[in-house]
Copies of this chain bind each other. A is one copy, B any other.
Amino acid sequence: MLSVVLVGTGNVAEHLFHAFEDNEAVNVLAVMGRNALQQHPFGEKFLRHTNYENLPQADIYLLAVSDSAIAEVSERLSSDQRFLVHVSGATPMERIAGERKGVFYPLQTFTKGKTLDFKDIPILVEANSSELQTLLLELGKNISQTVQVVSSKKREKLHLAAVFANNFVNHLFAISETICIMEKVSFDLLKPLIYETAHKLETLTPKQAQTGPAKRGDMETMKKHLSQLNDNQTKDLYTLMSQAIQNYHEKEL
């Protein structure tokens, strides 16, 4: 049985809490947060209010706090040779204060109140000792099928790749929705296409899956599309994305 203290009450903390709660091999001893309101989903018995002094002794202290708070929070917890572990994709392990440190990064986007099956979520771990690395691999394997040791440098690049695959992709959905709203057609009509665009990657590489006017060099359609867009920034984005698609596919010829 692994014991865990969860520091933080945000989105990631809440999802990790539920994953551990459903697992017999992990025992969450306490959840620590800055205010009482946010702690509600964790249940009364776990509440600890901004009290760094009376935290129980645990195998692992998981810091599910904002990236900018990792240094300060770990500084306050770094006594007693605790294993301090952050859950951030973009933050180097070394940002953690103290001597015994690690990373436990679930590579997923979490939505408040929407439960996900952790077994499908890759967990990337890192530690500055083999003892902690073993503990983190064990913790990960209790909840996920995909647990890998990944260095800070590689994890940061994966996080950058995730910005393209999630943040920027989602903004393209926003642009697509805006076009629908302006034309008074339902954005719902595009959702089956959006789901299939993602699920094509089950059988094809992005290169194989590419279609559309830019890929086939259909200048007439691209010119028409540009004339149909009102917003200059969206026009620029259309042009740059189309050029990027053409360059990427030309390289291969």
Contacts and interface: CB of A to CB of B under 8 A. Distances in A.
Contacts of A218: 67
B174 A160 contact: no
- Please tell me how many copies of the chain the complex holds: 2
A103 interface: no
Interface in A86-140: 90, 107-109, 111, 114, 116, 120-122, 124
Interface band, chain A: 35 or more
Contacts of A168: 172, 237, 241, 245
A191 to B, nearest CB: 6
A190 interface: yes
A223 interface: no
A116 B200 CA distance: 11
Interface string A203-240: 11111011111110010010011001100011011101
Nearest to A123: B189
Interface string A239-253: 011011101100000
A90 B220 CA distance: 11
Interface string A181-203: 01111010111111111111111
20 contacts: A108-B192, A156-B224, A158-B183, A158-B185, A158-B189, A161-B175, A162-B176, A163-B213, A164-B238, A165-B193, A167-B210, A167-B211, A169-B172, A170-B200, A171-B210, A173-B201, A176-B206, A191-B201, A233-B247, A234-B244
